A and B are shown apart, each in its own frame.
Chain A
Amino acid sequence: MSKILYCRCAFAKVVPDATKDAVLEKLCESGAAFESVADLCEMAARKDERLNDLLAGDEGVKIAACYPRAVKWLFHNAGVSFPNDGERINVLNMREQNADEIMESLTQNDDE
């Protein structure tokens, strides 16, 4: 099972509330373990070591946040190399995609 990171984007109103609430609600209904952060930008600004931990290893990682280009370079900003491996790292965009689509990707088994 992939690791899951959910970003609340709590410092701005750019991610639709309905989408981020629906994704979190469905994550809470699922049996999945997940890491959730108030704001990925803030974490990147602090160069939080947990971002490094998240991408370490060979496990798949699914990130529910915003635009993949922004997420990739936020990790870089935090000093964490973001692998160009679409198979292993999957960024779901809560600014554009709907909650059902995102949840389908988040809860999909890695071997499917």
Chain B
Amino acid sequence: MKNDIHPVQIILYEGDGAQALAPSERFALISQMLDKGYAVLRVTASESGSLPTLSPGIPLTVIGNFDGSAPDLEDAAGRTGITTHDISGLAVDAVLALIEQGRVADQTGLNQPGEAGMWKPWFPVIDYDRCTNCMQCLSFCLFDVYGVDDAQKIQVKNQDNCKTNCPACSRVCPEVAIMFPKYASGPINGDVVNQADLEREKMKVDISSLLGGDIYSRLRDRSEAAKSRFSKERSPDKALEERKRCLTKLQQSGIIPDEVLAELDLASLPSPEEIQRKAAEAAARAEAARQAAAAESS
């Protein structure tokens, strides 16, 4: 899983027994720790009696101006390793280096924003106040992001499979129920859904019908044409070109944005045959879930 890295928990302790930092120093320290992917809790004198519940097993680092001597702390339950550092007189960079050294020594992972190979948390979020369980998203997604729970309710099952910056499934949702909080514009970003958005969705469905059915029909047609060509002259380059043409068609229809196409590794995308197989599987799963949901409600 790409998203199973739990960050080190940092407590900036400014309660009893520690000196408070200057506000500018506090801001510089917290903002830089956050930008590196750490989570930081600031504890003040008035709140020092109510320390937070700790995530078991996730290391905790407590930093503070302890005037030369950091206290020894341990988790009474023995589940969480606690490290303390006195940061009196240290510059922000030095504090960050201290925390980083401890993290590396503990072999604790950190999903660092902006670092190559790190996971950008991009995945669909379903608004169940709007979702009608129509399964369009499950039918549409070729990357098995969606599934159903025991009650046949649509779920985001494999969020790691989602293609970064691609909001395509939210565009096919007839109820505008799928959000990508990091998307630039509304209502996909979670902004309020207004009547104009709903009308636009309706229009999209109508246009799709006018163009000759769902996008899988188009992909299937292209796949059939490609098959006959590939049977005569099967070449990876041509297969790649075919996938590119399919995607360009989808991009022209406004379903997949330019920037996503530009970033996609086309060679890693399913082949036309796989697309056809996955579409058939997804459609069958969606239909089974629809029928099961209907049977349950009757």
Contacts and interface: CB of A to CB of B under 8 A. Distances in A.
B191 interface: yes
Contacts of A62: none
B110 to A, nearest CB: 9
Nearest to A40: B181
B53 A36 contact: no
Nearest to B56: A49
Interface stretch (B26-34, B68-76, B91-99, B204-212): B26-34
Contact of A24 (B30, B39, B43): B30
B181 A74 contact: yes
* Contact-residue bracket for chain A: 35 or more
Nearest to B187: A69
The interface residues of chain B, by DSSP majority, are classed as: loop
A24 B119 CA distance: 24
A38 B34 contact: yes
A28 B38 contact: no
Interface string B277-289: 0000000000000
Given A66-B181, A66-B190, A10 B3 contact: no
Interface of A: 8-12, 14, 21, 24-25, 28-29, 31-39, 41-46, 48-50, 53, 66-71, 73-74, 76-77, 95
26 contacts: A8-B35, A9-B182, A11-B113, A12-B182, A24-B30, A24-B31, A24-B34, A28-B26, A28-B42, A31-B46, A33-B42, A36-B30, A36-B40, A36-B41, A41-B121, A41-B181, A41-B182, A45-B3, A46-B5, A48-B55, A49-B53, A67-B181, A69-B179, A70-B179, A73-B126, A73-B128
Interface of B: 3-7, 23-24, 26-27, 30-31, 34-44, 46-47, 52-53, 55-56, 111, 113, 119-123, 125-128, 156, 159, 179, 181-184, 186, 189-192
